[in-house]
């Protein structure tokens, strides 16, 4: 803000302001001043917004540190749930994802799935995080959920170009294996193992799964 005020002062010291006055009249000068004041207001708001975001980040960081030091997952989840009520959207999303994980860690499986599903269908949440929540929800239901339903949810996540496609494909392979579809699981694991763009840890798991399954 001080930089803008200094620039305005420098402009006002210039001699050509008299020329502007004579040529365009006081209304033009008023318009110019309004423009400067408007610019100052915008910059001032940006500075205020930046300070608010920094404060929000500090508060979230402090909360996460406290959560990390809380031994009971359910208690830590309750802390996050209380924070979410008044949290900025971005931090609220991160807190909701963390709360869901902690609910799962505490043995509250259904509560965790519900939290993930709520995030996955919330239009106010960034698509990247909606898809991640859907992925976590499916992962928690791999052993007992309906394979067709889970695959329906995974299909758009596993499509080319999607950010979580490799993990989604790995889950598709696990679902196929659990359903007795060894050929389908082998096909997916093979594609993952052969794709050089697959993350290293996931390629390693796919290779190990193929080895464990034995020759086709």
Q: DSSP characters for 51-83? A: HHHHHHHHHHHHHHHHHHT-S-HHHHHHHHHHH
Report whether 79 contacts 70 (CB < 8 A): yes
Residue 199: CB partners within 8 Å, gap ≥ 6? 166
Give the pLDDT of residue 86: 85
pLDDT at 115: 95
The pLDDT assigned to 23 comes to 47
Predicted confidence at residue 171, as pLDDT, reads 92
Instruction: Give me the half-sphere count of Cα atoms (radius 13 Å) on the Cβ side of residue 172.
Output: 24
Residue with tokens 């909701």: 96
Q: Is the dihedral of CA 121, 147, 152, 175 positive or negative?
A: positive
* pLDDT value of position 24: 43
Give residue 46's pLDDT: 55
> In this structure, what DSSP letter does residue 165 have?
H
Would you state the pLDDT for residue 159?
A: 96
Residue 87: DSSP 8-state: -
Residues in the chain: 216
- CA 214, distance to chain mean position in Å, is 39
At 134, list the tokens.
């859907």
Annotated domain spans of the chain:
1-69
- Residues 6 or more apart whose CB falls under 8 angstroms from that of 32 comprise 20
**Residues of the chain predicted below pLDDT 50:** 1-21, 23-29, 31-33, 36, 38-45, 48-49
């Amino acid at each position: 803000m001080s930089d803008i005020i200094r620039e305005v002062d420098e402009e006002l010291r210039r001699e050509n302001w008299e020329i502007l006055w004579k040529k365009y009249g006081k209304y033009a000068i008023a318009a110019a001043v309004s423009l400067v004041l408007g610019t100052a207001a915008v910059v001032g708001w940006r500075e205020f917004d930046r300070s608010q975001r920094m404060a929000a980040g500090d508060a979230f960081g402090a909360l996460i540190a406290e959560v990390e030091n809380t031994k009971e997952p359910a208690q830590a989840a309750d802390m996050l749930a209380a924070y979410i009520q008044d949290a900025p959207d971005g931090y609220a999303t991160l807190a909701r994802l963390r709360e869901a994980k902690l609910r799962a860690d505490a043995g509250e499986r259904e509560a965790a799935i519900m939290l993930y599903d709520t995030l996955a269908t919330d239009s106010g949440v960034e698509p990247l995080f909606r898809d991640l929540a859907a992925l976590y929800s499916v992962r928690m239901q791999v052993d007992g959920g309906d394979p067709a339903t889970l695959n329906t949810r995974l299909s758009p996540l596993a499509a080319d170009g999607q950010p979580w496609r490799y993990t989604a494909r790995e889950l598709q392979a696990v679902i196929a294996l659990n359903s007795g579809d060894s050929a389908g699981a082998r096909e997916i694991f093979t594609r993952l193992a052969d794709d050089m763009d697959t993350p290293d840890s996931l390629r390693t798991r796919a290779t190990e799964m193929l080895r464990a399954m034995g020759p086709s």
